[in-house]
Amino acid sequence: MKIVICPTIIKRTILEDHHLKIADVLQGIEYLNIDGCNLKEIDIKGLSHDSRDIEEGYLFVAIKGYAENGHKFIDEAISRGAVAVLGVEELSNLEVPYLQTKDTKSALGVIASQFYHHPFKNKKIVGVTGTNGKTTTTYMVKSIFEANGYQTGIIGTIQNIINGKSLPSRNTTPSAVDLYKFLYNSDDEVIVLEVSSHALNQSRVAGIPFDVCLFTNLEGEHLDYHNSIEEYFETKYKLFKQMKPDGLAVVNFDDDWGKKVHERLLNEGAEVKTVGIDSFCDACVLHETDQVWLKEYEERKPFDLMLPGLHNQFNGAMSLMVSEGLGLDLNKSLEALRNFSNLPGRFETVDFPGNKVVVIDYAHTANGIYHCLKTARESSANQITHVFGFRGKRDESKREMMLENSRTLSDKYVLTLDDLNGVKESEMKNTLKKYVQSDPEQKGRVIIDRTQAIKQAIEEADDGSWIVITGKGHEEYQQTFRLGTRSDFDTVKYLFGEHPIFREIHLKK
């Protein structure tokens, strides 16, 4: 069953006196009214799970999180003006009414949806999940909708775009309150969401019915947060449990976990479009000839994208299946993909004298590094120097495979600092040295200062070489390094002789 896009736009304006009775926003939530207060008489003007965001007249939702327990901040929330508190712990004798429920993470999404009047009702919501490729795919989907005449917003890693305006992004997927606030303020007809496993586990998208769900791939990632790859998969699959009964799923069938998603969805009677290199897929990627075979049309179409690499053709093919499944204009959609240019920090290239090419890429997983380096190798690279590091307090199980892919696909590599996340610099330095010392080919070295690592890699590279810098992409540095630059891109442009302000100019283009 195909989904028909409704072009109706409903304008909304948040009024300064926007408020609801607390009894109304708690509809559908099972809770105990500990103090027996009349909740029909209590107005709330806003809500948050972060005590720092609480203002006069707000509802504070206390959540037991991965790192912090929100119940510790109830007193602070009340001092800031909270008129009621929703939590899971057994508490009494608060200065304001206390309501107890079983799961405040899920409740927050339901409450936010009701407070902001279910703002998804007149929009098409597209969710993209997976380990790699989410960001590029969301922007490709956005470009397709816009080429077909639909005003489209995006919520994701690099930025949030609402009503054509760019807003800063703190997380891949914002909190439930921020997400619903974005939707409420949006006049967009379509919203494309990057949905992370953290967001699904923490119920940040709770209550949102998705019209389209995409699964890009899955590999070992965030296993410091999820106990196993199986748990990670089940968390990702939660997105599809929120798909509308007549919704559309698009799955990477070349991925083993994608095959599992496909099998489950078919058993549940869902409409599924598949992408792969096998001819039976709905979109068969023919990488060597830059074509895509479309099963529904029984013909090949030119697929010479501006973005290099097989992985980007997969991202494009998945986006094209969204177009096909929703009945959008095929030629307009193909043209949008052919004209799609690169994103900040996604295989972003800078040409240096001596025919050297510097690549800045967000790749921070083994598979991401593989595709990034393989794409460079398939281009004009005579030699490849790979500059990267490991993030502190993150899944350490992926480090060996990241390093193995670097050893295999680069001629030499430089290990340097990525985000420390509270790990001591000396500790990370020792870790990096151990990895280099254990390399039987002795292809690597450690330069702990990231900007100096980039500088030396570029300076020492032979003419015609590629210097591939992975891990940070568009992100700014957490630490201050010797050159004083803010990001890998700023460092590269600084070394090229440009001022770091170029980054701001570049993003506006």
The pLDDT of residue 54:
97
Asked whether residue 12 carries a pLDDT value surpassing 50, the answer given is no
Q: Assign 222 a pLDDT band (cuts: 50, 70, 90).
A: low
Residues in binding site:
51, 130-136, 171-173, 196, 202, 204
User: Tens digit of pLDDT for each residue in 49-94?
Assistant: 999 999 999 999 999 876 789 999 999 999 999 999 999 999 989 9
Asked whether residue 433 carries a pLDDT value surpassing 60, the answer given is yes
Asked whether residue 507 carries a pLDDT value surpassing 60, the answer given is no
The SS3 of residue 153 is strand
The pLDDT of residue 13:
42
Closest of 496, 197, 458, 492 to residue 361, by C-alpha: 492
Asked whether residue 505 carries a pLDDT value surpassing 60, the answer given is no
Q: How far is CA 7 from CA 20, 36, 42, 149, 220, in A?
A: 29, 46, 37, 9, 40
User: Tens digit of pLDDT for each residue in 14-30?
Assistant: 444 567 899 999 998 99
The pLDDT of residue 224:
60
Q: Is 378 left (phi over 0), alpha (psi -120 to 50) or beta?
A: alpha
Q: Assign 503 a pLDDT band (cuts: 50, 70, 90).
A: very low
The pLDDT of residue 281:
96
Q: Assign 380 a pLDDT band (cuts: 50, 70, 90).
A: confident
User: Tens digit of pLDDT for each residue in 147-203?
Assistant: 999 999 999 988 999 999 999 887 778 899 999 999 999 999 999 999 998 899 888
The pLDDT of residue 168:
85
Closest of 269, 232, 225, 230 to residue 248, by C-alpha: 269
Asked whether residue 243 carries a pLDDT value surpassing 90, the answer given is yes
Q: Which CATH class is domain 20-115?
A: alpha beta
Token pair, residue 381, equals 């690279």
Q: Assign 1 a pLDDT band (cuts: 50, 70, 90).
A: very low
DSSP H/E element including 128: strand 124-129
Closest of 201, 203, 183 to residue 126, by C-alpha: 183
Cα gap 165→159, rounded to integer Å: 10
Asked whether residue 371 carries a pLDDT value surpassing 60, the answer given is yes
The pLDDT of residue 6:
44
Which of 34-48, 56-70, 443-457 tops mean pLDDT? 443-457
Q: Which CATH class is domain 124-338?
A: alpha beta
The pLDDT of residue 186:
96
Q: Assign 499 a pLDDT band (cuts: 50, 70, 90).
A: very low
Asked whether residue 2 carries a pLDDT value surpassing 60, the answer given is no
The pLDDT of residue 28:
86
Asked whether residue 508 carries a pLDDT value surpassing 80, the answer given is no
Give the mean pLDDT of the chain. 90
In this prediction, residues 126-138 reach a mean pLDDT of 95
The answer to whether the CB of 114 falls within 8 A of the CB of 25 is yes
Cα gap 405→66, rounded to integer Å: 31
Residues in binding site for ATP:
130-136
The pLDDT of residue 203:
87
User: Tens digit of pLDDT for each residue in 349-360?
Assistant: 999 999 999 999
Token pair, residue 269, equals 């009677």
User: Tens digit of pLDDT for each residue in 254-299?
Assistant: 999 999 999 999 999 999 999 999 989 999 999 888 999 999 989 9
* Phi, psi values for residue 237, rounded to 5°: -70, -20
Chain centroid to CA 177: 18
Considering the domain delimited by 348-508, tell me its CATH architecture.
Answer: Alpha-Beta Complex (3.90)
In this prediction, residues 465-483 reach a mean pLDDT of 96
* Radius of gyration from C-alpha coordinates of the chain: 24
The pLDDT of residue 174:
87
> Which residue ranges make up each domain of the chain?
20-115, 124-338, 348-508
